[in-house]
Structure formats: C-alpha cells, structure tokens
C-alpha cells in the first residue's frame, strides 16, 4: 500500500527532466549522453577531407614509386583505397536510441574501424621504407609524423580510437627506424616515440575539452527545454485557473441572482399583501438559493485548503463500519445500505477519509433518482499486506467510459447539462481526487450508461495493536430541546453591518435581547458584561483586539459567560483552541439551527 503523504512528487529522469545535476544519478546520465554525442560526431561523414587525404596519399605513393619501388607503392596505395572506400561508402550505423550496452558495442566497432584505417596508413612505414637511402627514410618519417598530426584532429573524437590510431600510424616507422635505420634514423624514431606520448596527452586533453563543451551544450538544451516545459505548464495552469474561476464565477452568480430576484419578489408581495402560501413559496426559494450558495462556497474553500495543505494528515486507526453507518444515516437509511465487517479497521486520516466517502455518497445519491446506494467493504491482500477495499455502488444514470477521467475535473458533471444547482456544482469528485492524492490512494471508477457506477479504493489495514477511538454518543434531536426563554441577553461583536443587522433581527425574532457592537474595544467599554448570557465574537475585528483576544478578556471578566467564536476561518487549530477554553465555534455562514442550539445551551447554564 502507498503511505500517507502530504504531497506527491513523482521522480523524474535527471537527464530529461532536470534532476539535481550534483547527484550521482544525474552525473552518470550526463556522462552517458556526452559519450553518445562524442560517438555521433566521430562517425559523421567527412567527404571533402577524405577526398583531400586520398589525393595526398596518391601523391605520396607516386613520389615513392618514382624514388623507391613501384610495386610496393602500388600495394600501399591499394590498402589506402580499400580503407577509403570502407570509410566513404560503408559508414558505421549507430543504434537509436542508445543504451549502455549498445553504446559500448558501437564504441568497440568504431575503435576497430579507426584502427584498420590508420594501420593501412601506418603500413607506409614498412612498405615504403628504403633501408639503403637515409634521405628517403627521413622523408618517410616526416610524412608519417604529418599524417599523425592530421589524424589527431580528424580521424575521431573518441579518445581510445584516436590514441590507437596514432599508435598504429607511428609504430611501424619507429620499429623500422630502430631496427634497420642508421643512427640519424634511430634518433628520428626516438623522436617519433616522444611524439606518440605527446599526442596521446594532447588527444586526451582535447577530448576532455570537447566533452565539457558538449556537456555545457546539453545542459543548455536541457535548461531551455525545462524553461519551455515550465512555460507551457504555467500557461496550461493559467488556462486551467482561468477556467476554474470562470466556472466558479458563473455558478456563484446563479444563486446570488436568484436571491436578488426572490428578494424583490418578496418585497413586492409584502407591499401588495400577498397570501401566506405565496410568501412561503418565495421564502423557500430564497432558502434554497442560500443553501446552494453556501454549498458552493464551502466546496471552494475546501479545495483551497486542500491545495494549500492547510490541514496536516494525522494517520490513525479508523473503524470503517461506524463511519459508513453514520454516512448512511445522514444520507437517508432507506437510500443507503452498508455491508461492512465489524472488524474492518483501516489506517488513514479520519477527517480526510470521511470527506472522501461523504462526497462519494453524496454524488451517488444525487445521480441515483431511483434505487439504492451500497457502501461495501471487503478484506483484500496486496503485496502481502492486509488491506480493505471500499466501494460506493449506485444504480444511477451511469457514466460513459470516455468521461471516466473527466468527471474528476473541476465543475464537471455528467447528466446535469441544465446545471441544476440542487444536484451540485461538479466539485465533489474534484475534491475526492485532491484528497485521494493526499492520502496516497487511487479512486477507480467502473461504470456504463444506464448501469450505475462503482467508485472504489483500497486502504491499508490498521496495525493489530492500533485501536480505533470509541464512537461518540449520539446527540439528542433538536426537537427534544426546550424553547428559548424570553430576554436572553446576547452580546454580538461583528464589524460587518449587514451581518450584524441580520443577527440582530433573527435574535429579536426569537425573543432574545441582542447587544451589537462593531469592535472589541467598543464592546468592552459599553457592554454590561454581568447581564450577558452569551457572547458571539467575530474573529476578524478592526483595532488592536481580534475576536480571540476579546473572548479571552470576556472570560477573564466573567468566567461563567458562554462564548462562541464566529468566523469563516474556523480551522482545526481554532476549533481545538475553543474546545480547550470551553468556548464554542460557529463557521460562517452560520446556520439558524446551529445558532438556536447554542442559545438553548447558554440558557441552560447555571444562574449567575
């Protein structure tokens, strides 16, 4: 199983994807690429140079045929002709692409061909050597040394091949000069041996410089390709971001427009004294538009938090059966069935796993107009380790194979071309994709039009000694709670005038007595703290004191006061802080039912 991780960073091939150039793997790959390029340069055809060399060889053969021996000169010229034809008309073919093994084979073939080429030229030191004439010996020595200088810069750029060529070219004349030559020729032969050593060193240095130049060129090309790839990726990301925000803007404007239109309808109805049924219908439309707007903003916020890695993963043992039964109960017991072994305990981040399953269940229920949804878990073994396969099965409209990848995109929906906001915004599976990447799991889809869908993934089984937390007791239904008592004193500290006015109106409608202030300093200076039953503190407040600092001061001044933080930025750390200090936390937009429940708890506190 893949381990949990905060971000996935796939490994890239250093030579092609710009890996760390200082790493051993990158150095090996760079050296391989350089050797391939050196061999390519070495086997390139050199037609004009080859023709000039052949003409010069013909001139040398004519000179020695005139001064020494026609048959031996023709024999040497015949060898030169054969190797010239070989090099000109039978070039070496290189494998594409190169592998380490094929590169070594190609290098050996190149060394052999180069050796044959220069051995034919070096044969002049034997065939054209005249033991009786010192002047021809010296002339031959000078000619062969000239050939050596030419070979060092033209025969090859591969060091072993060039060094072998120099050796095979000079060795015959050196041996013949020491063996059959007079003292002066012996001295020339010794000079030739020194020239061989010097040329070896010169060739090695030239090859090193060439390889450095090739390496720089390859690095420059790699950097240029990386820059172009980065530019293309940036342009693609920018296009995706623009598409995302365009779609978000479109879907955000829909409920906002509906709220504005329905508010105008309600205003007209109240002015004209419309009947109760008509007003209730308008109010219901307003509530549905508000719910759609809230759902979309919550999903956009969740995507932002996932991409910012704002919620670190905390892997632990998660009992799957209670989690799935709770999700089924929330979705409707009659619509969602659960088949899960009671001992199914996975190792995952409980919060992220719940969000994945909740989005999959919500997606299945929305697109299954008739029939049921099944949450199934069964044991698996993968790579010798215990695992649990989790499946969300529905009998809904199904998804065509060509759309399987697309449904995990942002604002993508199949079967909702009319963009019915009651069926979501196409972000649920996009959130699943992002969370699955964080959890290190792969969500696979099996579906066909009209045959329902199966979303499945596998989780590592929890270690035997890891016990899941005990399930929390169910809260009593809201209907069982007592009604609010009149005159409940509520401090509201909210700098947004529209939100403050809405809270004040709703609290008065419920019979409470709100005290509304726009800043912490104003509330501390003017509010009668001892008369308060509850304080609602917005976290982002103007001035030196924010909502958390205000709540701390209020708790110091009146320890028994019920306090709740209110913000759209209620994250895990803020929730933990509130729990530690005995406060509550309400996330904006605050739901009336949540606020009403908080007021009921506040009025149940002991009298002060």
522-529's contacts with Cβ under 8 Å and 24+ in sequence apart are 523/491, 523/493, 523/550, 524/550, 524/553, 527/491, 529/491, 529/554, 529/557, 529/558, 529/561
Write down the H helix ranges in 367-496.
428-439
Are 117 and 3 contacting, i.e. CB atoms less than 8 angstroms apart? no
Q: How many residues would you count in the chain? A: 608
**How many CB atoms are located within 10 Å of the residue 394 CB?**
25
First and final CA of the chain: distance in angstroms?
56
Q: Compute the distance between CA of residue 375 and CA of residue 328 in angstroms, rounded to an integer.
A: 8
Report, as ranges of residue numbers, the positions in the chain whose pLDDT lies below 70. Answer: 1-29, 237, 240-254, 292, 294-311, 332-333, 410-426, 466-467, 469-483, 605-608
Are 434 and 307 contacting, i.e. CB atoms less than 8 angstroms apart? yes
Neighbouring C-alpha atoms within 13 Å toward the C-beta of 93? 4
483: left (phi over 0), alpha (psi -120 to 50) or beta: beta
Q: Compute the distance between CA of residue 554 and CA of residue 542 in angstroms, rounded to an integer.
A: 17
pLDDT of residue 70: 92
**How many CB atoms are located within 10 Å of the residue 230 CB?**
11
Q: Compute the distance between CA of residue 219 and CA of residue 225 in angstroms, rounded to an integer.
A: 10
Q: Compute the distance between CA of residue 580 and CA of residue 602 in angstroms, rounded to an integer.
A: 18
Edge-first strand order for the sheet with 562-567 is 513-517, 489-493, 534-538, 562-567, 584-587
pLDDT of residue 18: 41
pLDDT of residue 548: 92
Instruction: Please tell me whether the peptide bond between 589 and the residue prior to it is cis, using omega within 30 degrees of 0.
Output: yes
pLDDT per residue as tens digits for the range 261-271:
878 888 888 88
Write down the H helix ranges in 335-489.
350-366, 428-439
Are 214 and 37 contacting, i.e. CB atoms less than 8 angstroms apart? yes
Strands (E), 192-322: 315-319
The chain-wide mean pLDDT, for the chain, equals: 81
Query: What would the DSSP string read from start to end of 349-375?
Result: EHHHHHHHHHHHHHHHHHT-SSS-EEE
Using a 10 angstrom Cβ sphere, with 0-12 exposed, 13-18 middle and 19 or more buried, the burial of residue 256 is middle
Q: Exposure pattern of 584-602 as b/e (b: 16+ CB <10 Å)?
A: bbbbbebeeeebbebbbeb
399 CB-near residues (< 8 Å, 6+ apart): 407, 414, 445, 447, 448, 449, 453
CA–CA distance from 452 to each of 246, 302, 405 (Å)? Answer: 31, 27, 16
Are 13 and 222 contacting, i.e. CB atoms less than 8 angstroms apart? no
pLDDT per residue as tens digits for the range 402-419:
877 777 876 666 655 444
pLDDT of residue 150: 78
pLDDT of residue 415: 53
């Amino acid at each position: 199983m893949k381990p949990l991780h905060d971000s996935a960073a796939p490994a890239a091939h250093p030579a092609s994807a710009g890996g760390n150039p200082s790493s051993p793997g990158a150095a090996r790959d760079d050296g391989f690429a350089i050797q391939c390029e050196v061999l390519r340069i070495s086997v390139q055809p050199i037609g004009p140079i080859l023709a000039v060399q052949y003409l010069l060889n013909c001139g040398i053969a004519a000179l020695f045929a005139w001064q020494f021996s026609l048959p031996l000169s023709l024999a040497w010229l015949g060898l030169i002709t054969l190797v010239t034809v070989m090099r000109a008309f039978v070039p070496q073919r290189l494998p594409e692409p190169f592998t380490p093994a094929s590169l070594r084979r190609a290098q050996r073939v190149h060394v052999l061909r180069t050796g044959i080429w220069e051995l034919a030229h070096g044969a002049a030191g034997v065939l054209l050597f005249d033991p009786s004439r010192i002047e021809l010996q010296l002339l031959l020595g000078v000619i062969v040394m000239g050939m050596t200088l030419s070979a060092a810069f033209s025969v090859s750029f591969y060091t072993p091949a060039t060094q072998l060529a120099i050796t095979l070219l000079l060795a015959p004349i050196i041996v013949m000069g020491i063996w059959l030559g007079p003292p002066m020729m012996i001295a020339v032969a010794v000079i030739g041996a020194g020239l061989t050593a010097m040329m070896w060193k010169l060739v090695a240095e030239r090859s090193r410089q060439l390889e450095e130049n090739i390496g720089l060129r390859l690095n420059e090309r790699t950097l240029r390709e990386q820059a172009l790839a980065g530019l293309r990726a940036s342009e693609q990301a920018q296009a995706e971001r623009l598409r995302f925000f365009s779609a978000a803007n479109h879907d955000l404007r829909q409920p906002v427009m509906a709220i504005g239109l329905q508010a105008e309808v309600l205003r007209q109805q109240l002015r004209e004294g419309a009947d109760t049924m008509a007003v209730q219908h308008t109010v219901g439309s307003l509530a549905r538009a508000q719910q759609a707007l809230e759902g979309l903003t919550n999903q956009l916020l969740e995507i932002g938090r996932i991409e910012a890695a704002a919620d670190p993963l905390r892997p632990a043992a998660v009992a799957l059966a209670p989690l799935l039964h709770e999700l089924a109960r929330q979705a409707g017991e009659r619509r969602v069935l659960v088949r899960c072994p009671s001992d199914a305990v996975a190792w995952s981040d409980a919060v992220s796993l719940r969000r994945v399953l909740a989005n999959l269940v919500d997606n299945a229920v929305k697109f299954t107009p008739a029939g049921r949804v099944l949450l199934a878990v069964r044991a698996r073994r993968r790579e010798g380790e215990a695992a649990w396969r989790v499946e969300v099965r529905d009998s809904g409209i199904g998804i065509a194979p060509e759309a399987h990848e697309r449904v995990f995109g942002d604002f993508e929906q199949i079967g909702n071309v009319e963009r019915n906001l009651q069926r979501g915004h196409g972000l649920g599976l996009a959130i699943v994709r992002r969370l699955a990447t964080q959890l290190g799991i792969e969500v696979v889809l099996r579906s066909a039009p009209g045959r329902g869908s199966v979303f499945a993934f596998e989780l590592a089984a929890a270690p035997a000694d890891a016990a899941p937390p005990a399930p929390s007791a169910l809260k009593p239904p809201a209907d069982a709670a007592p009604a609010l008592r009149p005159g409940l004193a509520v401090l509201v500290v909210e700098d947004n005038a529209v939100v403050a006015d809405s809270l004040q109106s709703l609290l008065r409608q419920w019979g409470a007595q709100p005290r509304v202030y726009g800043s912490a300093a104003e509330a501390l200076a003017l509010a009668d703290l001892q008369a308060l039953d509850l304080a609602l503190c917005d976290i982002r407040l103007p001035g030196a004191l924010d909502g958390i600092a205000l709540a701390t001061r209020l708790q110091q001044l009146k320890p028994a006061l019920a306090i709740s933080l209110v913000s759209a930025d209620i994250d895990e750390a803020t929730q933990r802080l509130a729990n530690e200090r005995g406060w509550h936390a309400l996330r904006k937009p605050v739901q009336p039912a949540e606020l009403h429940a908080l007021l009921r708890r506040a009025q149940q506190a002991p009298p002060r």
